Structure formats: C-alpha cells, structure tokens
Structure 1
Amino acid sequence: MTDLTSSRFAEIEFIQPLLARLNELGYTQATPIQQHAMPAILAGRDLIAGANTGSGKTAAFALPLLQSLSTSKSNSNRNAGNIVTHLILVPTRELAQQVANSIKSYASHLNGAVKTVAVFGGVSANTQMLALRGGADILVATPGRLLDLISSNAIKLDKLNTLILDEADRMLSLGFTDELSSLLEMMPDNKQTLLFSATFPEQVKALTSSLLNNPVEIQLQSSDESTLVQRVFTVNKGQKTALLAHLIKQHQWKQALIFVNAKNSCNHLADKLSKRGITAEVFHGDKGQGARTRVLDAFKSGEVDVLIATDIAARGLDIEKLPVVINFDLPRSPADYMHRIGRSGRAGEIGLALSIIDHEDYHHFNVIEKKNKLRLEREQVAGFETIEFEKNVFASAEKVQAKPEGTGKKKRKKKKQINADIWLGSAE
C-alpha cells in the first residue's frame, strides 16, 4: 500500500507524468480525504468515503485510477471491443462533464494512454456512440443514458474492474434504484466498488452492505475548520423577494447562486427580481442541455451575476471562488442543505451560505439543523424585522393561554409559547 503518512503529493508514489501535472495545477498538499482514500483504492479495497463538499473527492478517486491504468496492463483489453474497465456513475449531466474534464486534465501528460469518455442525456447519443468505439478506460455516465447505450450495444460492462458512485447518497436514493439495479446485473461480482459523497444518511448506509465487500470506511465530515460562514435571516411572509433584492444590491454580489425547489419557481423569482432591477438567469431541468451549459459557463466566468437554480446545481458542481449561496426555498431534504451550501467555501476559499426563512419555514429549518448537527443564530435585517410575525405568534399564544383548563389545549399552548421564545432568541 502506498505510504501517505506525509500529505505532500511529491512524496506519494505517483508516476512522474501525474506529479508533473499536479505541480502545474498547484496541487502540493493532499487533502485529508485524498490521504485516507488513495491508499485503500490503490490496494484494491472497496471503500465508502464521506467528506465535506469541496474537499477534493474527485482527485481522491481519479488519481489512483490513472496511476493503476498507467502502470498496469489493465487497459490492454480496451481495443478488444466496446468494453469499459472503470465506470463512474453520477446523478447529473453537468457533474458527468465536470468529472470527465477533471480526469482528462489530470491525465494530460499521459500522451493519450488513458481514454476517458462522458455520456449523459440531453444531447445526441450518436456522438457518444462514436466516442465509445473501441471501448473506454474510464467512462463517466448518468444511469439513464448508459442504459440506452448498452441497449444499443455501444458499450459492455462485463469486464468492469472498478465501479465508482459519485454523490453516492443520491445514486442510492429511490429515484435511481431501478436503473442502478439494472446496471449492477450487467457487471461482474469481483469488481472494486467505491462510494463517495458529502452525506450518507442512515437509510443509504443500510443499502451499501450488498454493494461492498469488507469496505474501508472513511467519514471526515466536519464543520470545525470550515471556511464557509452560515447565516439565517428571518423575514415576514411575503417579504422574501424584497429582502433578497436588498441583500444583492447592498453587497453588490457578482456571483450569487440562489436555490428554489421547483422549475417554475426559478422563472417566477427571476421575473420578480427583474422588476426590482436585478437580472438573473435560471438553471433547471426543463432547459435544453445546450442552454444549461451556456448559462452555467456564463455564471462561472462572471458574465452572469445571479443564477437561480433547482437542486440539479447542488450536486458536485465546482464553481471556483463562489462567494455566496442563498436558500430562498429551504431544501426538502436536510441532506440537500449541505450539498447546496457546499457550492461555496470550497477548497479553503471563504464563502457565505444564507437561508432566508419566514415563520412557515421555521419548523423545517429546525429539522435541517438537527439532522446536520447545527445551531445557527436567527438574524434580522434592518427594515425587514419580523414584527408582524412576532405579533401573530404572541396573539396565538395568548388565545391558547385563555383556554380553560381541561380542554386538551394545555400541551399545545406550551409548545406554541416555546416556539415563539426560540424564534425571538429568549430561550435556548
């Protein structure tokens, strides 16, 4: 097993072309997830690895793959047909392209010895079928498009050496269960399986036993040394958009990623911001792949200041030095909160994650905090104080207190009063 007692890439037993490329990219220190995961991968162990977003998980599995392919004959079977030896499954099109681009970048000094292909929906399958002629050493794919290509005999999985699930919690969730089950049936049993994600909810952990063989488990999620600042602003119902526009103008954010929960909410919020003099682009599943790529590239380059997106932008996307992420709608899943805010504060950069909540969001944000072991101060912005909410809560509490004893309302009164106190910061 490679010795990673030192965290310097130069002291790790990678081949010279990889080290040269890492030096060009300015990568000198291996991150904790890379230090812990790479020896296990190089030793052929199955792995379940959890680490914060922006912690270097892609390099943690990509570099060992490239090392193994370059120093063995594992890629010699590629020309025998349309087979793939290493498969990386991801939940979104954008992540598939991003991971493939990262791997190609790391492999730029390998003189084309490793063939990496990305396949995903929303674009022509014919071009991808042509790219897969002769097979691939590393295939990055979304499950649906991969199944389509298999049904067209464009690729085979029966010689697979390594399966990687990136954003594994999402890949093992209900939405991908049928597709993943179909793909697993086409793969050999004696393969190496690697699971990477920022979060591993308990219900997902229960599914891993059938996928992994005596795995190494790495759990490095921590907020202790995070460079991401999390804040919560309370506001009266109906004033969220006004507060959002105020914050954007006040801080003059040049890149702000705003999350909502539905496709039509993206357009609706963009229209409301436009009436307040703020131009925003939208990013959701109903947009064609070409349009999605263009708007994301424009946002990354700084041509677009405000991007309103659904959760397809919450998974794995690396937007360099993104200053702020805003939850306009709270995510339905507490795990998705961590994935959303992880778009900012990546790779040691300072970032800010804001959640704008009104009283209807309060209980759900409590759940998000509990599941993610957080406790954030509720703040107010001058001019947007939650006076109306405070009056409504206390009025409701006073009515409950006025109920006669023995009506079954005593417990309910107590709960409402405590919630009001917590909101106002007068109780623990």
Structure 2
Amino acid sequence: MADETLVESKTTFGSFSHLLDARLLRALADMGFAHPTLIQAKSIPLALENKDILARARTGSGKTAAYCIPLVQKILNAKPADAGDDVKATRGLILVPTKELAEQVSRHLKQLTVYLDQEVTLANAASGTTTHQQRAIMSERPDVVVATPSRILSLLQSKTISLESLESLAIDEADLIFSYGHDEDIRQIFGGNYLPKVFQSYLMSATMTEDVEALKGLTLRNPVILKLEEGEDELKNLTQYSVRCSEVDKFLLTYVILKLKLVRGKCIVFVNDVERCYRLKLFLEQFSIKSCVLNSELPLNSRYHTVQEFNKGVYDYIIASDESAVTAEPDIGDEGEESEQEEFTSTQRETAESSLSTSNKRKRSSPAPASTRKRKQRKGDKEYGVTRGVDFIDVSCVLNFDLPSSSRAYTHRVGRTARAGRSGMALSFVVPSDQWGKNKVVGGVPSAKHDETVFARIEKEQAAKGSKLKEYNFDMKQVEAFRYRMEDALRAVTRTAIKEARIKELKNEILNSDKLKAHFEDNPLDLEYLRHDKPLHPARVQPHMKHVPKYLLPQIKPVSTPDGGETEIGSQDNAGFVPFRKDGTRGRGRGRGRGGKTARGGRKKHDPLKKFSR
C-alpha cells in the first residue's frame, strides 16, 4: 500500500498518450481538459496498473474524471478488435448516492465516449425510465452502468442485470452512501454473490468517516491512498460571512440583498424543507424577484432540467431544499474528522463488516424526531440531493437561509461556490436561541433551534482549516426602512397560498416531465419556453412592491483595493458585499428611482444597485 500526498501537476493529458486511447484524448481536448488535476495525474496511471484506489479530495477537484477515464480505457483494453454480441458484458459499475449525481456522471461519460459510441455503451439505471424500458436497456448488456445502490440491487434481484464480468467498481461520494439510507442495499450487494471475487475498486470521498472506513474494508484490497489537501489559495477564494438575526429578519435581509443586488451573479439559497422553498419563492415574487425551486417533490426530469438551465445562466436565483441536512444525524465527531488513520491493517479489514453492522443498527434504533417522522410521510424522492456532487457552474454566492444541522453539511453547501479558481462567498443566517420561536408565522422552525451550537462547531472547523467566518453587521437603521414592505409581503404568503403553490408547481412539472418528454427530444429548441421561474401567484401580489422608491435607497461607498484604487464587490476578483455609508443618508427625491438618469441625455448617474452592502 502506498500513501501519496499530491504535488502540483504540470503535465498535460498528452503525456498519457502511451496509456490512453487517442479518441479519449480527443474527447478530453473537446471538453477543454488540457492539464489533469492533481488527483487525475496520480490516479490514472495507478488505476491502469489495476491498483485499488482510495481518493480523498475536496469537491471540484476532478474526482469524477479520475475514475471515469481509466474505467473507460480498461473496457477498451478488454475488448478484442473484432468484438461482437458474444462478448458483450457489463464491465464497469459506478455507484452514487443520488439521482442528480447519477445524471451528472452519465453526462460526463457520454462526453468522454463521444468518439467511442460504437465501442463503449452506457446506461443510467437511476434515471426516471420505466421498469420495462430498464429491462430493454439492460438486456443489451451495457459496458458501464451508473446507478444508486437501491436501484442496482433491484436490478440484480430481478436478474435484469448480471455483474459476473465486472472488472471495475467505483463508489463516488462514498461518505454519503449511507447517509441516504443505502446501508442495507450495500450490504446485500456485497453479500449476495452478485459480484465476482476479483475486481478493481475506486472509492472517492471528500471526507473520511466511519462509513468510508467500513466501505474500505468491503471493497478495497491493498489500496493506494491519494490524499489531496486544500491549499491556502482555495481557501482564500471563499469569503464567508454570518449574520445573527431573528427568524423574520431572514426574510427582510434576503429581500434587501436580492432586490438591491448586494450580490452579483448566480446565487443558491439553501433552506431545510420543501415548505420553506415555496414560502421564500412566494415572498420574493411579491417584489418581482424571479427564482426557481429545487426539492425532492419535483419529478426527476424537472430537477435535471432546472440544474442545467441554472448552469447556463437562465436563472440567477435557485432555492434548494437540503432535506438531508435535517434528516441526517448531526456529526458530533466533526472535530476528530481530520484524525483518521491512513493505514489500513488486516485487523481493520476483519472488523469492517461488524462495525458497519453496528453503525447501521445504531442509526436504525435511534428514534427519529417528530419533525422528521412527519417529513417522511410526504412523498419525496429519498435519492434527491444537491449539496454534494452536483456541479453548479459559476455560482457567486451561497446563502444559507436556514443553517444546516452539522458543520459537515455546511462545508458541502459552501463548496458549491469558489470553484475552479474563481472567487465566491457564503452568507449564513444564525438565529440566536433567545430569538427562536418568537414569530408565529415564520418562527419555530425546528432546525433553527440549535443554530448557535451548530454555528460554534462550524467556526471551529473552519478555523482548523485556516479560514474564518466574518460577522457581517448590517446597518439595521437603513434596513429598517424596508421592514414595512417585508411585513406586508409576508402577510400575503399564507399557509393556504403555500399549499396551492406546491400543488400548482407539482402539476406543471409533472406535465412537463412526462407528457412533453418525447416532444422535447424531437424539438429541443422548444425547451426555451419551459421555464421553472414563472410566478406561481397564489398569493396576493401588489404591483407597487416590485419597485424600490428612490428615497429608500441607501447611499453606498466603493471598496478600496490594496493598491489604493476602487473596485466593485461581487466580481470574480473580489467577492463580498459593498457597505452602506456610515452617515445613513439615502437618495434624494421621491418616486420610483431606477438608480440612474433616463435615456434623454446628460451625464449618467452612479447606479447604487450595482454595488452595495457591507
């Protein structure tokens, strides 16, 4: 076994020409992959030497390509030049915790095999296709299958798929596999004589947990451990803020932040349940702030499409429910997460299965809180998840409207921004314990009761990584001017309005997902008319609320740069908020100010909506 600490990669994919097929290299060039990331540079040669690999690397480090590239190359090596139907077999299996990640990995594989469509066949078993369609697809014995553990187990039990010829098994986001309730499925897959005795395994994870240690014992033999630590540069790209406020002030500050463009670019707003998704969307609609929702109630195809359109820049704001942050156990052992053992002994291997069984028994025996039991009664997709693995592109800001229940979940959320060398920021609302439950309409959210305890844990973990959360103190004297508008809008968002909105959205998305699926496949341009941020309008909307009167606009000041110049906040070079002026003065005049002079001529005034906050 080897323990490797990665160093900076200065090689190109061209240096792998003696290992990789020319068509693979061509596809990588088309994808814009010129230089392998650190984990790719180390893992690809080792994987092609048939070594088992345990890779620990941060989100966005290129783990998907690190196992997909050698997996495809091994399939090419295994196929003779005159391959026919008689040699068709499933040689590669990729297990992921969520359907969203399964779709993303499948798309990545399709790009890799664009010049190999005759040699390498793919199938996404986690897609929303019917059982009959799945049987037809699997009867063709695809070379690579991407699936969630529960789905692949169902196919194995029905003998729809055979893994007797399996050569490569990859488990992506391994530390999440058990969090999504796949513990029993994994145990049956490995203990049901479905897999051959010898195959190569890849275990990819962002963190090392007890579950990963258990999986390591089940799947890996003499693995090479690749450890990629976060560097200071990555940490510097992320600016983290926190705001201590009451539960109702969350809505006030979100309104001010989004309406006055305190953050520029795309923003993901995380809430902790589906109801909060629609409450916040309807609230923002009162001010003509468009947003789309993403939660487990929506059909799978609609979730795929929403993420794709968000990545293309069609939507600026997406409200995502992170239900796993509430249903999962709080990770009490966060502080000890960095102290895992890298050496894997024979004794650990022998006790891996027993520890897995004990861990799962403990999880099943612990009673779920009342809020969780109530949530499970709703029809949601248990394999939904967007905080991990799913690649959101060019996200400028992550807004934790509801704080997660663990520091690990926080790390995964803020990992959606400041990726690929770009700057980003995260802002988290923290409800003090003495403020919890005071508002009868929007207060009393169970997950917010322990915000201060969880936030203390988050601060400690981030400090251990050399990062610090800055407390952002809004000048509430200036923000107070917007309170009456916020309260007026919040009163219109009743429980009945939320219920109607959920039903309306679900009906629309089911129609778009099922009945129009075939039409959109034949007419892809029609997708432009399918938008997920349309107003739901079950609540009373007042037209005047969408404008901000000029007398309410706070004065702002530019932020100075180290060289003495001035810059705008929210750009890729400097992510953050622009502060209010200390004197608290506001714009002059009355009426509906749009932040600049009209097009009749004259000098254009400074637009306070484009750079603003603190």
**Where on the TM-score scale, by shorter chain, does this alignment land: which range?**
0.7 to 0.9
| Partner residue of 2:456 out of 366, 369, 374 | 366
Deviations 1:75-102 (A, max 9, x none): 9999448842110011111111110111
- Which residues of 2 match residues 401-420 of structure 1 at below 5 A? none
1:316 aligned partner: 389
What is the TM-score with the length of structure 1 in the denominator?
Answer: 0.82
| Partner residue of 2:291 out of 257, 273, 280 | 280
Deviation at 1:46, TM superposition (A): 1.2
Once residues 55 and 166 of structure 1 are traced to their aligned partners in structure 2, the CA distance between those partners, rounded to angstroms, is: 13
Once residues 283 and 40 of structure 2 are traced to their aligned partners in structure 1, the CA distance between those partners, rounded to angstroms, is: 44
1:170 aligned partner: 176
| Partner residue of 1:25 out of 27, 31, 36 | 31
Deviation at 1:206, TM superposition (A): 4.7
1:133 aligned partner: 139
2:149 aligned partner: 143
- Seen in structure 2, the aligned counterparts of structure 1 residues 78 and 47 have a Cα distance that, compared at 3 Å, is farther
Once residues 173 and 163 of structure 2 are traced to their aligned partners in structure 1, the CA distance between those partners, rounded to angstroms, is: 21
The answer to whether the aligner puts 1:11 opposite 2:84 as a matched pair is no
Matched-pair contact (CA < 8 Å) for 2:263–2:397: no
Matched-pair contact (CA < 8 Å) for 1:235–1:386: no
Report the more deviating stretch, 162-171 or 127-136.
127-136
Deviations 1:335-371 (A, max 9, x none): 2222222222222222222222232423211212334
Once residues 126 and 81 of structure 2 are traced to their aligned partners in structure 1, the CA distance between those partners, rounded to angstroms, is: 23
1:241 aligned partner: 251
Matched-pair contact (CA < 8 Å) for 2:265–2:395: no
1:382 aligned partner: 475
Matched-pair contact (CA < 8 Å) for 2:175–2:212: yes
Aligned-residue RMSD, C-alpha: 2.7
Once residues 211 and 266 of structure 2 are traced to their aligned partners in structure 1, the CA distance between those partners, rounded to angstroms, is: 35
What is the one-letter code of the residue matched to 1:358? V
Matched-pair contact (CA < 8 Å) for 2:113–2:120: yes
Deviation at 1:37, TM superposition (A): 1.6
Once residues 385 and 47 of structure 1 are traced to their aligned partners in structure 2, the CA distance between those partners, rounded to angstroms, is: 55
Once residues 42 and 404 of structure 2 are traced to their aligned partners in structure 1, the CA distance between those partners, rounded to angstroms, is: 31
Matched-pair contact (CA < 8 Å) for 1:8–1:29: yes
What is the one-letter code of the residue matched to 1:101? R
Matched-pair contact (CA < 8 Å) for 1:117–1:139: yes
1:92 aligned partner: 98
Once residues 10 and 200 of structure 2 are traced to their aligned partners in structure 1, the CA distance between those partners, rounded to angstroms, is: 26
- Which residues of 2 match residues 209-358 of structure 1 at below 5 A? 209-226=217-234, 228-237=237-246, 238-249=248-259, 250-251=261-262, 253-311=264-322, 312-358=385-431
Deviations 1:110-147 (A, max 9, x none): 24211111111544232232222221111110122222
Once residues 384 and 18 of structure 1 are traced to their aligned partners in structure 2, the CA distance between those partners, rounded to angstroms, is: 59
Deviations 1:171-209 (A, max 9, x none): 144721001111223212311111112222355335422
Aligned residue-pair number: 384
Matched-pair contact (CA < 8 Å) for 2:395–2:417: yes
SS for the counterpart of 2:476 is: coil
SS for the counterpart of 1:286 is: coil
Once residues 217 and 341 of structure 1 are traced to their aligned partners in structure 2, the CA distance between those partners, rounded to angstroms, is: 26
What is the one-letter code of the residue matched to 2:245? N
| Partner residue of 1:42 out of 25, 48, 51 | 48
Structure 1: runs of 5 or more not aligned: 388-428
| Seq. identity, % | 32
Larger Rg over CA atoms: 2
- Seen in structure 2, the aligned counterparts of structure 1 residues 160 and 369 have a Cα distance that, compared at 3 Å, is farther
Matched-pair contact (CA < 8 Å) for 1:9–1:30: yes
Deviations 1:299-320 (A, max 9, x none): 2222222111123111211122
- Seen in structure 2, the aligned counterparts of structure 1 residues 109 and 203 have a Cα distance that, compared at 3 Å, is closer
- Seen in structure 2, the aligned counterparts of structure 1 residues 257 and 205 have a Cα distance that, compared at 3 Å, is same
- Seen in structure 2, the aligned counterparts of structure 1 residues 258 and 81 have a Cα distance that, compared at 3 Å, is farther
Once residues 369 and 136 of structure 1 are traced to their aligned partners in structure 2, the CA distance between those partners, rounded to angstroms, is: 47
Report the more deviating stretch, 32-41 or 71-80.
71-80
SS for the counterpart of 1:324 is: strand
1:191 aligned partner: 199
The answer to whether the aligner puts 1:204 opposite 2:204 as a matched pair is no
- Seen in structure 2, the aligned counterparts of structure 1 residues 78 and 169 have a Cα distance that, compared at 3 Å, is farther
Matched-pair contact (CA < 8 Å) for 2:75–2:91: no
- Seen in structure 2, the aligned counterparts of structure 1 residues 199 and 386 have a Cα distance that, compared at 3 Å, is farther
- Which residues of 2 match residues 65-80 of structure 1 at below 5 A? 65-73=71-79, 79-80=85-86
Aligned structure 1 segments of 4 or more residues deviating by more than 6 angstroms = 74-78, 384-387
Deviation at 1:64, TM superposition (A): 0.9
- Seen in structure 2, the aligned counterparts of structure 1 residues 36 and 86 have a Cα distance that, compared at 3 Å, is same
Once residues 302 and 222 of structure 2 are traced to their aligned partners in structure 1, the CA distance between those partners, rounded to angstroms, is: 43
What is the one-letter code of the residue matched to 1:209? G
- Seen in structure 2, the aligned counterparts of structure 1 residues 239 and 220 have a Cα distance that, compared at 3 Å, is same
Matched-pair contact (CA < 8 Å) for 1:256–1:324: yes
What is the TM-score with the length of structure 2 in the denominator?
Answer: 0.58
Matched-pair contact (CA < 8 Å) for 1:85–1:160: yes
What is the one-letter code of the residue matched to 1:218? L
Deviation at 1:10, TM superposition (A): 0.9
- Seen in structure 2, the aligned counterparts of structure 1 residues 268 and 368 have a Cα distance that, compared at 3 Å, is same
